[in-house]
Structure 1
Amino acid sequence: MTTTGPTGSQRQTWTSNRGFILAAIGSAVGLGNIWRFPGVAYDSGGGAFLVPYLIALVTAGLPILFLDYAIGQRFRGSAPLALRRLWRKAEVIGWFQTMLLFIISVYYAAVIAWALSYFYFSFGNKWGNDTASFFVNDYLKASEPGISSELVAGVAWPLALVWVLIIIVLAAGIAGGVEKVNVVGIPLLVLGFGALVIRAVTLPGATDGLNALFTPDWSELTNLNVWIAAYSQIFFSMSIAFGIMIAYASFQRRRANMTSSGLVVGFANSSFEILAGIGVFSALGFLAHQEGVAVGELEGLTGPILSFVTFPAVISEMPGSTVFGALFFGSLVIAGFTSLVSLVVGVSVAVQEKFGLSQRVAAVVVGVVSAALSFGLFATTTGLFTLDTVDMFANNIGVVSSAIAMCIAVVWLAREGRVLRLHLNAISTFKLGSWWLPLIGVFAPTFLLVMMIQKIIDVIENGYEDYPNWYIYTFGWGTLGFALAGAIIGTATRWKGRDQADFEAWPSVEFLEGERR
């Protein structure tokens, strides 16, 4: 399905608002919802953490999501093109976001490959009794942090499958590929993970796990780090401010109801995180019960260690472990794949628009280049350490800095915040009041800046995970340098097949209001 743009150009669209919402939920609900939120909540005051978490959702998550939607839906392009149309000098921010999407996608695919492998391993609990040794030594064959060209076959084969499927989905288009994957995948994810949660809460010791997660420690509300953790979780879990939602919104129809869709996506994402917390900590309570220890004495309550070390140990102890394992790792695969699709869409559409390529050619080019980097960096014996380092720097510094830059550029430099608010109000039933601009122009960037500075100081003073300094400079700061260099080159490259009129002809807010009436 296509629509005609203001310059007569044709653009694909979602077949329905439901398709867009499911795709946006598929992007937001990813691996971090399952393995990050429960551990962060547990470490940040338990039930009390829900207070700053919900405040962060309302004051930063949803407002910046609306900003992404407004930019993409109004200016009809990927992050570089839409931001270029908004303000010429903002194109470099769009390319920085696109480079971050590219970087994140190449290692995210590797984690999905792990989940695919473990889906297979769950049939017969092939990880054995020492799940930590199996994951690090037997499966990943991890060596010391460094640079290796030795491929790990157990990772390489499922990784190849992941990239083949990604290329097929993108080549099929927005409606024929991306939308269909999410229309099928998201209901399956909810059903599968919901069944897993129901089983988990009936296990012996599940109540202990839930008490550990939700018992509030109200004193933690005075801890700045808890508030930073809440904003960090909302920010990273909603796929905002790094190009994904701009690209997805650009495929919406001209008069689609954007703010109401955003509310559905935001609260659906948070609801799934809470559901994940219930399932994960019920299972951890069961494991603690089996081992005769407190939940807090268990190791690996967050991140990949939770999913690939702690949870296999839980599954091995359960009656009907094969079904439980298949549900858990199947859910990881679906949640990860729908998020990966959105990451690669953001890159592919940007390349397609910049160089005047066809949809299928762009999908193949981006897919092949991304797959090559995935294999070279993350399917080797040092892939685990490289992934960990790149992920920390790309997310905690790269994505946060792109959000700060975008908010400042839109509100203070281009002075387009008011127009974007009027644009959303002209087409949506939930109206944004005057409160929206201070949130995206002052409050959110200020808090994100504090969060980023704190992380930078911590890395400079303490390093990261005891990795060698040369390794941190190469794969940490080097990742940010690579993204910045790509942004500069992308901005300097001439747009193929576009003239100045294609950057200027956009309907007025009054026109949209008239059409709505």
Structure 2
Amino acid sequence: MSHIDASETQGSRGAFSSRRVFIFAAIGSAVGLGNIWRFPYVAYDNGGGAFMIPYLVALLTAGIPFLFLDYAMGHRTRGSAPLAFARMRKWTEGLGWWQVAICFVIACYYAAILAWSLRYMIFSVTEAWGDDPNTFFFGDFLKAGDPGVSLDPVWGVLLPMALVWIALIAVLALGVQKGIGATAAFFIPLLVVAFVLLVVQALFLDGASDGLDALFTPDWGALAEPGVWAAAYGQIFFSLSIGFGIMITYSSYVGRGTDMPGSGLVVGFANSSFELLAGIGVFAALGFMAQAAGTEVTEVASSGIGLAFVAFPTIISEAPLGGLLGVLFFGSLVIAGFTSLVSIVEVVISAVRDKFALSRITATLAVSVPIAVVSLVLFGTASGIHVLDIVDNFINNFGILVVAVVSMVVVGWVLRALPLLSGDLNQHTSVHVGLWWTLLIGLVAPVALTAVLIRSMIDTIQTPYGGDGYYPAWMLDVFGWGVAAGVILIGFLAALVPWRPGTSLALPPLESAPTPGGGGAHAAEEVE
């Protein structure tokens, strides 16, 4: 006999079965590739140990307060990002679709990095990159030539990308609890265990202490540099999965009696703790690499793709039990990246379901298949690395940050909705938000992020991304500025599409979720 799963008890949109599962899912979204390959170098390059001060200030004054804002919007409105904004005020719906469009773009290239990590986890066993990991990665593996656009397929990337998309569609088709929640509840503890093992192994490498000295030795003079504070606010925002619809979506799947501020503190500090752990593991390994090469740590320290696919293979080739180190490192990238990709695509699925009242499986296929096709065509080819590099930089710097600042200004100053949202946050918590939160969201966070944006804009205009002449100007215009502007245009065009008949754009009652017949509710999704 059929029965409704426990996850249906919060309404037919689907729901997480408990606060614990929600926290695992939120941590799974927040902890991603940026924690492992971006934070260590940002900290090292911005004052080392002294960077922890602006980093904590940014976490407390912008990161966690904005996390609370996302939670409050999703939890109060019981809708995806577009429906949440529409229920705040109809004309703001475009902000939600802007966030959805950003997620569509990120999902396209994020899957490619997952595919690389999956292959490199296997390569680690045989050290397939040989004596020159740089040439192997860009040449033998990616077949990357000069910057430009080529549709020549790279089968070593296309096939694992297809596997990533098949696995992702399967998880998302299972629904909020059975798919997203269950995946996060399994993979996040596994990620922590794998990464702790990696860190322990890295700490026993010769030269590990030199790497840790390089990371944590404080440069107190850096605290006087505005750029260091800008880097701290930028890192916090990129790291927490805030500002582009993910946490709005996830919090809409949480029961009314849940302690949202308490959950936000757990997620925020868990994410930062993992970043610190990643810094220790990565720089211990870089210290070993520097000692083995007879150079300073500063000569081998890097971030992003260079750290993961060039520096770490070099370390793996030289380290005792290097194969194990490689499997743990790239396995961690796969797990962290997959749980993040699940959350990114769910933003789009949830929005489409709310707008058109599609079933879970129909919406999953309608959303995931087009993203997968774009992903495979653009990033499974010889030009994939170049397009990815440009899109990633511009969508992060001029996509996520811009919509975050605009959202804070609109919600705080135009709609004056912060008292309404704080009322929801304060319903079931011991961590009460009040004037301090209103000031941080209405003033401190937007000012700080605007400073980051202005700095990035000036730097990009003065020196074209990638260095003078490295990328053709048309590539920066199309895949850089064009994509950043395109997500805005698409967002506000999507807002013109009518909601399905019967959708209520009124705020639901504070103590109850929308009924199955209105307010963007979906058809029941998890019937056994």
TM (norm. structure 2) is 0.94
Structure 2: how far apart are the matches of 1:456 and 1:292?
Answer: 38
Deviation at 1:329, TM superposition (A): 0.5
1:471 corresponds to which of 471, 475, 480: 475
Within the alignment, does 1:503 sit opposite 2:505 as a pair? yes
For residues 238 and 501 of structure 2, the distance between their equivalents in structure 1, rounded to whole angstroms, comes to 35
Q: Aligned pair 1:489/2:493, yes or no?
A: yes
For the pair 1:340 / 2:341, whether they are aligned, the reply is yes
Cα gap change, 1:297 to 1:505, in 2 (>3 Å): closer
Size of the aligned set, in residue pairs, is: 505
Which amino acid in 2 is paired with 1:279? G
| 1:147 pairs with 2:162 | no
- Whether 1:120 and 2:156 are equivalent positions in the alignment is no
User: How far apart in 2 are the matches of 1:505 and 1:348?
Assistant: 21
Cα distance, 1:508 vs structure 2: 4.2
Q: Decide whether the 8 Å contact of 2:72 with 2:424 is kept in 1.
A: yes
Verify the 8 A CA contact 1:356 1:497 in the aligned structure 2.
no
**What is the distance in 2 between the residues matched to 1:347 and 1:273?**
27
What does residue 288 of structure 1 align with? 290
Q: How far did 1:131 drift?
A: 0.3
* Structure 2 counterpart of 1:515: none
Give the counterpart letter for 1:342 in structure 2: S
* C-alpha deviation, 1:2, in angstroms: 4.3
* 1:2–1:11 CA contact under 8 A, matched in 2: no
Correspondence 1:307 to 2:308: yes
Distance 1:121 1:447 in 2: 42
- Residue 64 (structure 1) aligned to one of 66, 74, 77: 66
The residue aligned with 1:25 is 27
> Match of 1:410, as an amino acid?
V
1:28-50 residue CA offsets vs partner (Å, 9 max, x unmatched): 00000000000000100000000
Matches of 1:207 and 1:215 in 2, distance apart?
Answer: 11
Matches within 5 A, 1:20-419: 20-298=22-300, 301-419=302-420
Tell me by how many angstroms 1:3 deviates.
5.1
Inter-partner Cα distance in structure 2 for 1:507 and 1:486: 31
Residue 116 of structure 1 deviates from its aligned partner by: 0.4
Q: What amino acid does structure 2 have at the position aligned with 1:197?
A: V
SS of alignment partner, residue 112 of structure 2: helix
Aligned partners of 1:59 and 1:439 also within 8 Å = yes
Distance in 1 (alpha carbons) for counterparts of 2:353 and 2:14:
13
Over the matched positions of the two proteins, sequence identity in percent amounts to 50
Deviations for 1:313-363, whole angstroms, at most 9, x for unmatched residues?
Answer: 001101111111111110000000000000000011111111121111111
Give the conservation status (yes or no) of the 8 Å contact 2:95–2:492. no
Deviation at 1:202, TM superposition (A): 0.9
8 A contact 2:68–2:264 mirrored in 1 = yes
Give the deviation of 1:10 after TM superposition: 2.5
For 1:211 and 1:88, how far apart are their aligned partners in 2? 53
Deviation at 1:382, TM superposition (A): 0.7
Which blocks of at least 5 consecutive residues in structure 1 are unaligned? Answer: 513-517
Instruction: State the Cα distance separating 1:449 from its structure 2 match.
Output: 1.0
Q: In the TM superposition, what is the alpha-carbon distance from 1:4 to its structure 2 partner? A: 6.5
Looking at structure 2, the residues matched to 37 and 391 of structure 1 have their Cα atoms a distance apart, in angstroms, of: 16
1:72·1:249 contact (CA, 8 Å) conserved in 2?
yes
User: 1:433 maps to what in 2?
Assistant: 434
Question: 1:2–1:325: structure 2 CA closer, same or farther, 3 Å change rule?
Answer: closer
Q: Kindly indicate whether the alpha-carbon contact (under 8 Å) linking 2:37 and 2:303 is maintained by their aligned counterparts in 1.
A: yes
Q: Distance in 2 between matches of 1:189 and 1:4?
A: 30
SS in 1 for 2:126: coil
What secondary structure does 1:145 align onto? coil
Tell me if the contact between 1:3 and 1:253 (Cα under 8 Å) persists in the aligned partners: no
RMSD: 1.3
CA contact (8 A) 1:205 1:282 kept: yes
> Paired residue for 2:517?
none
Kindly state the Cα deviation for residue 427 of structure 1 after the two structures are TM-superposed. Answer: 2.0
CA contact (8 A) 1:81 1:91 kept: yes
Instruction: Give distance in 2, aligned partners of 1:90 and 1:496.
Output: 18
SS at structure 1 position matched to 2:13: strand
Q: 1:138: how far off?
A: 0.5
Q: Secondary structure at the match of 1:380?
A: coil
CA offset digits 1:452-486 (Å, max 9, x no partner): 12211221221110312111001001102321221
Q: Secondary structure at the match of 2:481?
A: helix
The runs of at least 4 aligned residues of structure 1 exceeding 4 Å deviation read 2-5
State the alpha-carbon separation in 1 of the partners of residues 36 and 317 from structure 2. Answer: 19
